[in-house]
Structure 1
Amino acid sequence: MCKNVVRIFVIILSALNLGIAQIPNQYGLTIISDLQKLKETIREDPNKALVPIKDYVPNIALDIKYATAQNVFYTQLYKKPAALVRLPVAKALGAVQKELNAQGFSLKIYDAYRPYSVTCQMFEILPDTLYMGLPWQGSKHNRGIALDLTLINLKTKKELKMPTPFDALVYAAHPEFMKLPQEVIKNRELLKSAMKKHGFKVDPMEWWHFNYVSNTTFELLDIPFERL
Structure 2
Amino acid sequence: MRPVAELLPSALAATPPTEPGEFRKTDLVELVTLDPTIKLDIRYATTRNFLGTPLYSQARAFLQRPAAEAVVRVNRALAKEGYGLMIHDAYRPWYVTKIFWDATPADKHQFVADPAKGSRHNRGCAVDLTLYDLRTGKAVEMPSLYDEMSERAYPGYAGGSDTSRTKRDLLRHYMEAEGFSVYEYEWWHFDYRDWKSYAIGNVRFEDIAPVRSAG
Q: TM-score range by the shorter chain?
A: 0.7 to 0.9
Q: TM (normalized to structure 2)?
A: 0.84
* Residue 52 of structure 2 corresponds to residue 74 of structure 1: yes
Equivalent in the alignment of 2:206:
226
SS in 1 for 2:187: coil
Pairing 1:125–2:103 present: yes
Q: Which runs of 5+ in 1 are unaligned?
A: 1-24, 32-37, 43-47
Whole-angstrom distance in 1 between the partners of 2:154 and 2:129: 14
Unaligned runs of 5+ in 2: 1-13, 209-215
2:32 alignment counterpart: 54
How much does 1:172 deviate?
A: 1.0
Q: What is residue 204 of structure 1 aligned with on the other side?
A: 184
In structure 2, the residue matched to 1:13 is: none
Q: Cα–Cα, structure 1 residues 75 and 201, in superposed 2: closer, same or farther, change >3 Å?
A: same
Equivalent position of 2:151 in the other structure: 171
- Per-residue deviation at 1:28? 4.5
Q: Percent identity?
A: 35
Q: CA deviation at 1:153?
A: 0.2
Q: Is the 8 A contact 1:69 1:76 kept in 2?
A: yes
- How far apart, in 1, do the equivalents of 2:198 and 2:177 lie? 21
Letter in 2 for 1:82: R
Q: May I ask how many residue pairs the two structures share in their alignment?
A: 191
Question: Residues 177 and 158 from structure 1, CA distance in 2 versus in 1: closer, same or farther, beyond 3 angstroms?
Answer: same
For 1:139-218, list aligned pairs within 5 A. 139-214=119-194, 217-218=197-198
- Per the TM alignment, residue 180 of structure 1 is displaced from its structure 2 partner at its CA by 2.3
1:26 deviates by 7.1
- C-alpha deviations, 1:189-217, integer Å up to 9, x for none? 10000100111100000000000012761
Q: Distance in 1 between matches of 2:138 and 2:54?
A: 24
- Contact kept, 8 Å, 2:122 with 2:200, in 1: the verdict is yes
